[in-house]
Amino acid sequence: MNKKLILLDIICYAVVPYLIWNYGREILGDYWAIILSTVPGFIYTVYRFLKEKQFNIAGLFILGSLAISTTVNLLSPSAESMLWNQVYLGLAYGVVYLLSILIKQPLALHFMVDWAYLQGYARQDSRTLYFKPQLLKWFQLLTLLFVARSIFMNGLKAFLLQTYGAAGYGKMLIYMNISGWIFSAVVTLGFVFIGVKINQYLNGGGEAKVAVEK
């Protein structure tokens, strides 16, 4: 991720929402201040989606999540119930990731297929390669990291909500964004690690050699 994207992420997901919350809550109240604070991130995510042409499983998953989250936010009767609903929804996404592991269709694998397609590789060729047992296990583990992220992030949000209530939304934004960026870095390293494993497999090294010998 280049410096420009990192700066835009910080501005749209942290700085602008924090300013809207901090200066808008007295005028608008907690509920609408929280609603409006999500708008910059929503618009920015849709913009990135269209610009990068992510018309694939990863992109549709992001847009679907945005649509569901926005609907849940708007249907919530109060600021605090909205935040709790976000926690429950976040945990539900964790369940989806877990189910994808159990049925051996790890979402991390499908995200990698999308990325490879953008690099010019046919989807079917990538799927055939990634579902090799020597590689599938790594995608399972990476998807498990997504589950762990969901549990940690939403557990943290629930803790902050119990500690500070809806009035502590500003603190929540800071803690959630920092932890989110840390997890994003770890997930990125996970994909890089799998990329190394894929190259080793294709070059006949490491586990691929063991598989051939067997």
Backbone angles phi, psi at 77, to 5 degrees: -75, -20
Is pLDDT above 50 for 209?
no
Q: 167: which DSSP letter?
A: G
172-203 pLDDT, tens per residue?
Answer: 989 998 999 999 999 999 999 999 999 999 99
Cβ contacts of 127 within 8 Å, gap of 6 or more: 109, 113
Judge whether 183 and 147 are in contact, CB under 8 Å.
Answer: no
76-93 pLDDT, tens per residue?
Answer: 888 899 999 999 999 999
pLDDT at 149: 96
123-181 pLDDT, tens per residue?
Answer: 899 999 999 999 999 999 999 999 999 999 999 999 999 999 988 888 898 999 899 99
The pTM (predicted TM-score) of the whole model is 0.77
Pairwise CA distance, residues 144 & 107, whole Å: 10
Q: At what angle do helices 79-102 and 30-37 cross, to 10 degrees?
A: 40
Confidence of residue 214 (pLDDT cuts 50, 70, 90): very low
Dihedral angle sign, alpha carbons of residues 70, 76, 78, 80: negative
Judge whether 64 and 56 are in contact, CB under 8 Å.
Answer: no
SS3 call for 183: helix
Confidence of residue 208 (pLDDT cuts 50, 70, 90): very low
pLDDT at 6: 66
Q: Which amino acid is at 44?
A: Y
Return the beta strands (E) in 117-165 as ranges. none
**Domain count across the chain:** 1
DSSP string, 38-92: THHHHHHHHHHHHHTT--SHHHHHHHHHHHHHHHHHHH-SSHHHHHHHHHHHHHH
- The range of the structural domain enclosing residue 189 comes to 3-213
90-101 pLDDT, tens per residue?
Answer: 999 999 999 999
- Give the tokens for residue 108: 């991390």
What's the CA angle centered on 113, arms 111 and 116, to 5 degrees?
115
